[in-house]
Every structure is written in structure tokens, then in C-alpha cells.
Structure 1
Amino acid sequence: MDLYSEISYIKGIGPKMKELLNNCGINNVIDLLLYFPRDYEKILLDKNLDSTKDGNKVVINCTVIKIDRDVRTKTKRVISTVVFKYNNGIIKGKWFNQPYMKEKFVLRKQYTISGKIQSFKGERMLINPTIINNKDNIIMNSSIQYLSDKNENAGYKLVPKYPLREGLTNNFLIKIISETLKCITISENLPIWLIKKYEFCSLDKAIRNIHNPESNEALLKARKRLKFQELFIFSLKMIMLKDFINNSRGIAFSISPDLKVLKEQLPFNLTNSQSRVIREILLDEKKNKQMNRLVQGDVGSGKTIVAIISMFNVVKNGYQAALLAPTEILANQHYLETQQILKSFNINISLLTGSVSQKQKEIIKSELKEGNIDIIVGTHALLEENVEFKNLGIVVTDELHRFGVIQRSMLFNKGKNVDILVMTATPIPRTLSLYLYGDLDVSIIDELPPGRQKIETFYVEHNKKDKVYKFAAEEIKKGRQAYVVCPLVEENDELSINSVEKLYRDLVNNYFKEEEISILHGKMANKTKDEIMNKFKNGEIKILVSTTVIEVGINVPNATVMIIENAERFGLAQLHQLRGRVGRGSFKSYCILIANIKNDIVEKRLQILKNSNDGFQIAEEDLKIRGSGELFGVRQHGESNFILSDLINDIELLKAANAEAKKLLKSQKEEDIKFKNEIIKKIEQTSQFICFN
């Protein structure tokens, strides 16, 4: 078995498990070893449970000395109790509404059990303990590390917690990864001088410790090595891509005199910032080298008009333009706006999305191939192989982070040296964007159109949520609408859906009994999501309870209230994005963050959002706080292919990786030239940045 072997070669993986793993993107040994834990659980092996803090999970070897009769409480809960004798004492195991659990135990028999320690009325107990079978006893059979805390006489094991999907268990993943690592050795693939300079552990040791940490220190070293590796490969990739683009010839478009006519016909004045960015794009279009530009613009800053003008000039040069959007809702919005702006110029504009009928799709594809369509706006449907252009000149991608590198390149390759314009409404600190978008020229729209009202932002503790929903009800009585975003739940789709449905029931039963309220989450079919969003846009739905799928969505000028539950779990950039869903009309708008303010730093971050509506300022302030090593909220990747790195928190590591990548590319040492050639092959084979030899 080697790194490229199919997972079916791994002991314990049959056809059913192979299918479940394939559904998680795990097809071979490399994929399995790169399926990193999302978290770790500290399991204690205590010699004296009396000194163990409440809430800690423990594992003990014990003997059953008594099985009590079940007790039924006044609230009709059934409490089952088994008494265990262990190393230094006696402890009770208690189960709530699980009477069948005590039947698993036999008097005077020995067991290894695991559960959380809890105190109640001075008595220590294990809550809902489970039996650990010998064959699955990964914890007891592993090396145990010892805590340095003098107050705790305990050894512990860090147990990985993997992202799970239906049918997969954490123990199964631990077991097969452990089996795989027994049969394989991972070769080193960074230059030796680089490993020595930063005192990195080997790649083999890093992979072993990320899955089965010898200690907390070993885990930190493994994470640092692997983070550096993916940031280093990412930097190499960006620098090489930039060089390739700079040496590529593009299409030299002339500046159309109709641009002046278009500008005069606009129903609004462009901001100075929009005008500056348009000039930068038009200068790129004039050059005979390929444009590769990113436009960063805050929520509501007017990026779409910039894209329309960019495409208009290309069309006036006799070429076609394509605008790729991540959702049908956004594609429809761009299509209607493009039609409205260019209605007097005899330009043929079409829309291609998944919901377009098959017959209409064939007509559109034929027209595109013939060159009769000037501008095509669409979703992933534009990426299909049989979508062909006669003369594609520019591709505009909206919200680039929603598309993978491969997806974007599929569209760019439908033309020859086409100009590339990518847009994002996610404000990224300027200091970070230099490294993150090394292959792109960056333009920033850093002012909002005149007349846009500031969104009033407030944050409150959970115990004051009643006031928040009463306020929302008052706004709805005035004829307005509201979004409610449910708490973010780790990486588990099922839990996220349960969370949004629970919140929905709570709102229906307690706050909005007479209002039209609906639910929206990412697992719904696209058609269903679009129907709900269109009903919300048309005012048929008054309150929309949603996960973050509405982060990039349709323009609803009548929506004036954005309520975000458990706001402390979100990153500031994402909170700012969500806030941007309101304040799009002439009505006063509000964003209310309901949060568990557990420390000063959480409050400081919420205060930043309350005091500023400038996404770039928010991003810079967030970087200052998070750059200190504190981890808050969800990971905010600027690049969807990263496995471990969080670019906000790992900016210093990114700077170092970027500097070393530049140094390596200039090096003429034999070792470095050999490494460069190998890494180029790996980059061509995969979009993953943690590459194996």
C-alpha cells in the first residue's frame, strides 16, 4: 500500500464504508491522511476522581458493585443508577431516560467506561457513561501523557474529533487512520535548509501527531509544520501563476466612445472610488497582456456597475462577456440590472442557470456558440462542457471564494487569454490581501454611494432577547420585514438544520404567531430556496429564519431588521456581510447581535462592529485582535482549498512562507531546483497545498 492506493486496500474498509468515505471526498490514502480532525477532546484517566473538575470527560477501569432500581421524578424523568468501584474509591453512573443502559452491566464484572464528571448536592457522579469495548479501546491502549497542573493527579489523552457524515463514526475514522499509519512512511518534501531554519518536525511526524497527538506540545508543532507547508505551497503557486500571467499575451481592447454615452445615461453618479477602479480596469483592457484583477468592495459599494461597464467596453470591441454568480438569486439580480443599465444599446443579454428549461438552454448554447449573445450571466451552468463561445473576451466572477480554483479556470479556458475580473464583498485587510491575492492586481472600492443610511447596530446578552423580538414585531407591524440568522453549528449539516428548525418553532410559538414566517437552509433544493427568497423579496414572507445561506443574496429594500443569534460564534467579516442584507432601501435599518459575551475580547469585537459600518476598518481591527493568537468565531478562509490555515490568525506564518517561497524561486542550488520541479508537478496534479512526495 502506498499514498496513492485506493482506500479499499485499507484493512476494515468494505464496499459500504468505501462509499461513505468517497462521499466525504476520501478516495485514496492521501485523502484519508489529509482528513484532519476538526477538534480534540481531552480524556482524563484519573486516579482520584474527587479532584477532577466538573465537565471533564474521564475513562476509568472499574467493577460493578450495585445496580439500583430506577427512580421516576415528578417531571416524569427516569433516572437509572449503577454503582462502580474503581482505583481509589466508589462512584455512581447515572443515566436520564435511558433505562436500557443499566441492563448492559453485570454485578461483579469489570468494565472500562467513559463519561463526564458532575457534582450534585455534594455527590460526584458520571453522567451518561458508555462502555468502551476492548477492540475500540483506543484511549486505554494509547500512551498517556501527564498533566503539569499540581492540583490534578491525572494522565490524559487527546482524542481527535473528525467532521462526520451520516454512517461514519469517530471511532471508525480513528481506527482506520491508525491502521493506515502503521503501514506507511511519509517521505520529507520540504528543502532540508527550510526545515532546519524553522526547526520543523518531519512531515511524517506531523501527520502522525495531527491524528494521534503524543502531547499538546507535539500537536502544536505538527499544526505549525502543516500550516507552514500549505501556506508555502500556496505562496509558490501564487507567485508562479503571477509570473505566468505577466508573460501571457492578452487581448488589447480599445476604449469605446460609447462609454461616455453610457456614463451620461446612468440614473446615478459614480463615486470617486468607482470611477478610479473603472479607470484601472479600462487601462488593463487596453494592454495586450491578460487582465487578472480583483475588485474588493464593501457591501453596497456598487461593484455590479463596475462589472457592467467593464463588460460593456469588451462587447463594444466585438467580443463576448460572461458573468458567473454563485447562486441563481444573485445571477437573476445581475441579469436584471445589466439589462436595465444597457437597455438602450442594442446588446443581447441572456441568463443561463440550472432552472432554465432544457429547450431554452439548448437555444442559449447555440446562440452563444454562434456569437449572437453578447453578455451571458449565469451560475455553475456556464461551466458545463457543451457551453461554447464564439469570441469570449472577459470573464467576471462574483464572490470568487464561492468557486474553487478548478471551477473558475473551466470558464476562463473557454476563451483564449481572456481578461479576468473577480469581485468580492468580503473586506480583507490590505496587509493580508497582498499575500492572499499574489496572482491578482487588487482594486478597492472604499466608499459607499451617497444616500445610503448607516445601519444601527446593537448587541445584547441572551437574557434580553425578548426585547429584540418585540422590537422586530413592531417593525413588521409598520410593514417592514426581518431576517433571523440561526446559530452557527460547527461543521455538521444535520445539527445546523436542527438548530434553524428549533429556532423557527420558538419564534412561531412565542413571538410571531400571526405573521408569515418561513425557514431557509443550505440543504434545501435550489429551486425551493429560490422560491422562498422570491416570496420574501415580494413581501409574502415577513420573517425569514435562515442559516448563513443569505450571506450573499437578493436585494430586499423592505427588510430593515437583521437579528443574529449566538453572534459570538461568527467572524466579524461574516457578521458584517450578514448586516449588509438590510439597509438597502429608504427605511431606517437595524442589526441586532444576540450573544454570549463570555469575556472582554468577545465584547471588544462586537463593539468594533457596533461602532463601524466600514468593512475594511472592521477587517483591520479584527486582524489586530486575532493576530495575537486568540481564536474566535468561525474560521474565515480567503481560499477554500486550505485545510488547516486561518489566514487572519496565521498572517505571520503566511508572511514567512511567502518570503521563503520568493527566495526558493530565485535559488540556483541543485536541491532547490529539484524541489521546484517536483512541486510544479504536484501543483499541476492537485489543488491541495499539503503535498506528499
Structure 2
Amino acid sequence: MYAGNKAKPPSDQAEQRIEHGSLETPVQFVPGVGPHRARQLERVGVHTLEDLLYYLPRRYLDRSLIVPINGLDLSDREFTVIGKVSSFRVIGGGPASRRLELDLIDETGALRAVWFRGLHYWTKAFERGQVVAFSGKAQVFRDRLQMVHPAVDFLDESERLGLKAKTGTIISLYSSDHALRQVGLDSRGIRRIVAAATEIATGRIPEMLPAELLQAYGLLDREKTLRQVHFPESMESKELALKRLRYEELFSVQLTLALRQHQRKNRQKGIKFPHPGASTRKAVKSLPFDLTKGQLAVLTDIRQDMESDYPMNRLLQGDVGAGKTVVAMIALCMAVEGGYQGVIMAPTEVLAEQHFRTLTSFFEPLGIPTTLLYGSLPAAVKRERLRRVASGEVDIAIGTHALIQEKVEFERLGLAIIDEQHRFGVAQRLKLRQKGVSPDVLVLTATPIPRSLALTLYGDLDVSLLKERPKHRKPIQTRILGGRERQKLFDFLKTELKKKRQGFLVYPLVDTSEKLDLQAAVTSYEKLKIGELKDFSLGLIHGRMTAEEKDNIMTAFSAGEIDLLVATSVIEVGIDIPNATVMAVMSAQRFGLAQLHQLRGRVGRGNVRGVCVLVIDPPVTREAQDRLSVLANSEDGFEIAEADLQIRGGGEFFGTRQHGAPDFRIADPIAHQDLLVAARRDAQEWVAKDPSLKSFKPLRSHFERAYGPRMELMDVG
């Protein structure tokens, strides 16, 4: 549950506080620290005694994994050896040949360690007779046993003897950087001050988890946890300590989300919209197709939220092509019929323009005025549109993040729809909310989110799922071709384009500066338009173009003036071209599963079945093969998302780190999903029975101290 603290400036009472072992004691008063070292510790986020206790080891030296030098073998495994520095020297004259050679000895033999980089640092770091641990893979070079660039940990003589003599002795190893090492805080130095901090805090570390939760999961108490995680008696006790810390962190995040949700539904007063009437019914009847059962169910959720007196904060997860935009349009109709304005935000100007075209064609016949706002509009045009929004002449505004700039004012903002949630930060959504008196918020995402990420990214939002696709949409065929089969692709493209259909040809790079020898979109476009596809109209779009250039290309493509659009993954989400039937992805192994699923969803949106062709270049890893086979065998975005998460991990699921996502330091919501689910259940039950946390004061006081500054964002998700 630890979130980090910033110590108050030291006062005259600092010495007295340390005597009482206060966790808020400034770190400089921990024995062995002082002002000089404290400045470097504060640089890495360690401000207080508590921060130091939560500065966890990066790994451990376990006696069972340590071998004598003569016990090293030449397998692919990593081993740790402990010995004394016998000698070291810099060899070679030129920069390319200079290296540091160090001889390490123990009672059984000698090992040479070699460094080709960082010579300036390492020559100053070592001393003869020093006790060190080297970890790495052993090899033989010129009949001598050696390790190249081993991991290095400096030990005390007593620690070396302890590891030799005591079964189960474990040494914790800490992350350090150059500046910390300069003030004597290498792993060994950090271990010393952590030991001092542990002694100071003994008997004075408050428990913030209720006893029933500790008992339910067999968790260690907080004080024992912090001692065992730094100085474990065994690897088993270390794992028990880590389990407690993981649960503590996950419970803290879930408690934050549960409190947000409770606060929004019980304290905040929102807009109570009237039941939809004739205008909304007319809008639904104007659609050229019937709504699916899934769309009707989601609209019921939204209607009930809008009719309630608390602000809606709903996430609509829709698979590719499931019809989220139509749901958003009907929701906007409800808001306008209720006497309020609506806004829909897209992550890019290309998508904002597309939303504007789609929504305008729908709303204009209904007499509902719309406008488009984004950053690169001419100043005079922007001023006039801002005036119309502020005066209430415009009912619906469509645009990008420019909508949340301070100068944008709404007369009566009632509904905010945010498309592609993961590209907007929490603070940005707070600004949007401040444009209206607690407007309802509907978040759309076309990226199906696995359960573990949904619980952490969107745990405070009410969630609606939209899986069912409109009946007129046919399944998309997915084919996989090897790099040598490109001619098959171009022959197929020609066949489709001759039928007056359109297609995409997507590359992963914008130029050829990357290390991997992959052909970029720009180079391909130049070659194809005078070669293989010279008989067709080609367009090019990539991330380095200006917004105006992208818009001109997309407008021409939408109008059918371009047959084949050569692109980077800038067209990954939201682009809607009903006549496009082919999505060809070059070097498909470079893309993630979720990204490929999004690209595939750009075609087959009309009456003709779409085809997605994935071209892979050798060498292809087993991971890439697994990823592509999942895609070829499934069109279920939620199933694909789970597989992508398992294969690539949460940090890469969206391609970039999530704005506003919890910054987990100890727990991994994917690897520890069972703990996450338990922590969520416990947090929700606790808030349901005690939303003010009054029944367990240590939990409340710790929570206020650790998370108080963040509470402003608690109702925006």
C-alpha cells in the first residue's frame, strides 16, 4: 500500500522524531545517511525512513546458487561466485581494443573478469583484496576461465564468511547508480543504511491492513514483512514478504478505485436527464439498419446512468466493428434532447475529422448543429467556432484535445464522450469535466482490454461490453504469407483494385533508419507507384505528415480518389472506409496482436467480405508465430487481447505506457491476477460497509497520508 512520501523540511523536532521511530523521519537522520547522502537518496525518491524501508532489493544472493570457482561449468546457466580481487589492469592501446581484466580468486581457483565498457568507473571501483560477487555465464578463452561483463556486487568479509558458513544465508542486492555510488551508496552501502532503518523502526511500524485480511491470506504483519524482504531467513520467508507487499499494493489501488466509484455515486450530484422522447426515437428510426441486441443493451445502461442523479462514468468496450460510434450518436441525441450540449473527443485529427463527417451527416437532417475543433485550425475559424460553442448555438462539438484547453467554454455541457481512452490522461479528463457541472462521461475503446488490465486501468468505471457485430458485416478472412510470397500479395491487390475496391498497405516504420532491414512505407510508395501498381492511384500517409496533409489524403481516400493507401499504423483505429476490402500488413511480426486486430478491422465494413494479408519476414521468432496463429484463428477481440497480454505482457499491451495507469512497484497485475481479483473484492466489500474507513484508523491515516494529493482526480477515472 506504500505510495511514497515527500518529507517535510527537517525541524528542531527531527531528532526527537527519530527517537520515536516515526516513519516520516527525514532520511538524513537515519544513522549512516546525513545531508550529503540524503540529497542523492531524495533524487531517487527516498525522502523518509518509510521510503528507505520500501527501497526493495532488486535480487538476492542465495547460498544455494553460489558455486566455488572450480564448480563453474560452461552451460548456458548463470552462476554466482564470491572471492577476493587478486589483481586488475587495463590492457590494449586503441579505443577498440582497450579492456579491463580482473583476476578473482577463492580457495578453489581463479576466474578472470573482462570489461570492454565503463573502464573509467570500474578501474576506480575495484581494490586489491576486495570481496566481491560476480554473476554471469562462464566461458573459456585461451585456456582461462572467464566472465565477460559480469554483474558485480560488493560484499563485506563478514557476509562472505556468512555465505560460506551458514546454510540459508541470503544477501539482498540493491539498485544503485553512479551518483549514489559516488557517496558510498553502492549495494553494500544501501544494505547498511537499510539495516539501520530497520532497527530504528522496530516495534514502531503500524499495521494498516485489517487483521481479518492478514488471516484470510496468511500474510505476514507489516513489520515482519519489511524485515524479511530485506534480510530474509530463507527464500520461503522472502516470498511470503513479497506476497504481503504485492497484496498491500494491489489492495491500495483497488481501494482508491472503490472509493472513487462510491464518491461519484453517493456524493456527487450530476445531471438528471429526462427519459428520451420523440427526438431520440426519430434519430434511431433514421438509421439505415436495425440496432443489434448488444447496442440496445448498452444504450439501456447509458440511459439509466443519464437518468440518475449521479454523474455517469461508463466505459464502453467494443470489439472492432461492433458499432460503438452509433451508440455514441444516440447518447448524444439523448443529451441534446435533454437541453444540454455534447462533446466527442478523438485522439488524432484524422479521427476527429472522420467523426465530424459521420456525425454531421447523421445530425444535420435532425436539425442538430455540430462543429469541429482541433489545434491546427486557422485562428479566425477557431474563434468563431469557440464563440458558437460558448453561446450554445452548437449542440455537439467534435475534436481533439484542443477541446479541453482553458479557452474553450460550453454553455451547458452535459455529455462528454472520449474515444480511445488509453490515449488521454486522468488530468486531461478532469479538465474536460470542469467544462460542465459534473457532466456524464462515456469512454469508448476499440481495444478489448483483458480483465487484469481492466481492473487496474478502469476499475472505478461501470463497464459495458459490445461484442455482437451488425448482421450485414461478414467475417474477415486472414491469410499469412512468407516474405518470399510478396508477388502473391500484389497479384491479389491488383485483382481487388480492378473491381473498383480499395485497400491498405501498412508498414511498421516511417523510414529506413531502423536497425532491422525493413522496407518503409515511404520507400515502398515511391517504388510501387511507378512499378507494380502503376495503373492505380496510390496515396501515402504516415505519422510525420502534418495534420492538413493527413486530412487531405484521408478525404481523397474516402471519396474514392485513391485506390490503395500506403500507410504506417496511423490508420490503426477508427478509420471507416466501407469500400476498403484488403488490409495488407508488411513485416507483420513487428506488430502486436491487438494492433493487428485493429488494423484488420479497418476492412470489410461494407457489403463485401474483407481480407487481411499478413506478410512476415524471416527470421520469425516463436513468439511472433504464436501471435499470428492466434489472430488467424480468431476474430474475437477479447480472446485475442487475452492472448496478446499473455504473450507480450501488460507493459507493451497498448504499445505505450498508459497515462493515468497505476505505477506498480512491487505487484504485477498480470502475473499476480489471483491476488488482484482478491484485493478488488476485499476493497469493494470494505468500502461498501465503511466508506469513510473509520473502523480501522491505521488504514485511514495511512491512506490519507499516501494518497491525499491524488484525491482530486478520484472521480474522473
Letter of the 2:324 partner, please give it.
K
Residue in structure 2 matched with residue 501 of structure 1 by the alignment? 514
Letter of the 1:86 partner, please give it.
I
Maintained 8 Å contact 1:95/1:101 = no
C-alpha distance 331-108 of structure 1, shift in aligned 2 (>3 A): closer
Q: Determine which of 266, 276, 286 is the counterpart of 1:255.
A: 276
Cα deviation digits, residues 414-466 of structure 1 (max 9, x gap): 32242222222232467996897564443222122344443444679xxxx63
Q: Determine which of 615, 618, 621 is the counterpart of 2:637.
A: 615
Maintained 8 Å contact 1:319/1:392 = yes
Maintained 8 Å contact 1:118/1:124 = no
Letter of the 1:256 partner, please give it.
G
Cα deviation digits, residues 583-636 of structure 1 (max 9, x gap): 55755222457786659xx9776644332101234456789xx6xxx9957465
Letter of the 1:466 partner, please give it.
G
Residue in structure 2 matched with residue 194 of structure 1 by the alignment? 213
Q: Which deviates the most, 301-310 or 553-562?
A: 553-562
Letter of the 1:390 partner, please give it.
E
Given the alignment of the two structures, is residue 227 of structure 1 paired with residue 243 of structure 2, yes or no?
Answer: no
Give 1:566 deviation, angstroms: 5.2
C-alpha distance 531-441 of structure 1, shift in aligned 2 (>3 A): same
Give 1:365 deviation, angstroms: 3.5
Maintained 8 Å contact 2:518/2:587 = no
Equivalent residues in 2 for 1:231-630, closer than 5 Å: 231-247=250-266, 248=269, 250-428=271-449, 439-457=460-478, 466-467=483-484, 480-485=503-508, 501-503=514-516, 514-515=527-528, 544=567, 552=573, 554-555=575-576, 557=580, 560-563=583-586, 573=594, 576-577=597-598, 579-580=600-601, 587-591=610-614, 607-619=629-641
Which structure has the larger Rg over C-alpha atoms? 2
Give 1:271 deviation, angstroms: 2.9
Maintained 8 Å contact 2:76/2:137 = yes
Cα separation, 1, equivalents of 2:225 and 2:378: 51
Q: Which deviates the most, 284-293 or 309-318?
A: 284-293
Equivalent residues in 2 for 1:153-192, closer than 5 Å: 159=173, 181=194, 187-192=206-211
TM-score with structure 1 setting the length: 0.71
Q: CA RMSD of the aligned region, Å? A: 5.6
C-alpha distance 530-4 of structure 1, shift in aligned 2 (>3 A): farther
Give 1:276 deviation, angstroms: 3.2
Cα separation, 1, equivalents of 2:321 and 2:310: 31
Cα separation, 2, equivalents of 1:106 and 1:512: 54
Letter of the 2:514 partner, please give it.
E
Equivalent residues in 2 for 1:81-120, closer than 5 Å: 82=101, 84=103, 86-87=105-106, 88-93=108-113, 116-119=136-139
Q: Determine which of 78, 81, 95 is the counterpart of 1:56.
A: 78
SS for the counterpart of 2:515 is: helix
C-alpha distance 199-101 of structure 1, shift in aligned 2 (>3 A): same
C-alpha distance 61-227 of structure 1, shift in aligned 2 (>3 A): same
C-alpha distance 511-345 of structure 1, shift in aligned 2 (>3 A): closer
Cα separation, 1, equivalents of 2:105 and 2:342: 73
Q: Which runs of 5+ in 1 are unaligned?
A: 487-496
Letter of the 1:330 partner, please give it.
L
Cα deviation digits, residues 272-299 of structure 1 (max 9, x gap): 3223323442344344554333222101
Give 1:306 deviation, angstroms: 0.9
C-alpha distance 528-6 of structure 1, shift in aligned 2 (>3 A): farther
C-alpha distance 266-544 of structure 1, shift in aligned 2 (>3 A): same
Cα separation, 2, equivalents of 1:640 and 1:303: 23
Give 1:393 deviation, angstroms: 1.1
Cα separation, 1, equivalents of 2:621 and 2:190: 38
Letter of the 2:408 partner, please give it.
V
SS for the counterpart of 1:323 is: strand
- How many residues are aligned here? 638
SS for the counterpart of 1:423 is: strand
Letter of the 2:674 partner, please give it.
E
Residue in structure 1 matched with residue 534 of structure 2 by the alignment? none
TM-score with structure 2 setting the length: 0.69
Letter of the 2:5 partner, please give it.
L
SS for the counterpart of 2:514 is: helix
Cα separation, 1, equivalents of 2:549 and 2:57: 34
Give 1:671 deviation, angstroms: 7.0
Cα separation, 2, equivalents of 1:6 and 1:647: 32
Cα separation, 2, equivalents of 1:283 and 1:66: 75
Cα separation, 2, equivalents of 1:95 and 1:565: 38
Cα deviation digits, residues 321-350 of structure 1 (max 9, x gap): 122333333333322322222232333322
SS for the counterpart of 1:415 is: coil
Maintained 8 Å contact 1:63/1:84 = yes
SS for the counterpart of 1:200 is: coil
Maintained 8 Å contact 2:274/2:307 = yes
Q: Determine which of 673, 677, 685 is the counterpart of 2:709.
A: 685
Cα separation, 2, equivalents of 1:266 and 1:105: 75
Cα deviation digits, residues 541-580 of structure 1 (max 9, x gap): 965456xx7654645747612356657x95x555544544
Letter of the 2:218 partner, please give it.
E
Cα separation, 2, equivalents of 1:415 and 1:361: 20
Cα deviation digits, residues 338-382 of structure 1 (max 9, x gap): 222223233332233333345544444433322222112233333
Residue in structure 2 matched with residue 640 of structure 1 by the alignment? 661
C-alpha distance 104-434 of structure 1, shift in aligned 2 (>3 A): closer
Give 1:189 deviation, angstroms: 2.3
Give 1:198 deviation, angstroms: 2.4
Given the alignment of the two structures, is residue 660 of structure 1 paired with residue 677 of structure 2, yes or no?
Answer: no
C-alpha distance 103-191 of structure 1, shift in aligned 2 (>3 A): closer
Cα separation, 2, equivalents of 1:310 and 1:335: 16
SS for the counterpart of 1:321 is: strand
Q: Which runs of 5+ in 2 are unaligned?
A: 10-25, 29-34, 498-502, 530-538
Cα separation, 2, equivalents of 1:31 and 1:458: 55
Letter of the 2:219 partner, please give it.
F
Residue in structure 2 matched with residue 651 of structure 1 by the alignment? 673
Letter of the 1:229 partner, please give it.
E
SS for the counterpart of 1:344 is: helix
Cα deviation digits, residues 633-682 of structure 1 (max 9, x gap): 74659971241554444332233223322443455799735356446745
Maintained 8 Å contact 2:630/2:643 = yes
Cα separation, 1, equivalents of 2:118 and 2:457: 55
Cα separation, 2, equivalents of 1:222 and 1:211: 9
Residue in structure 1 matched with residue 14 of structure 2 by the alignment? none
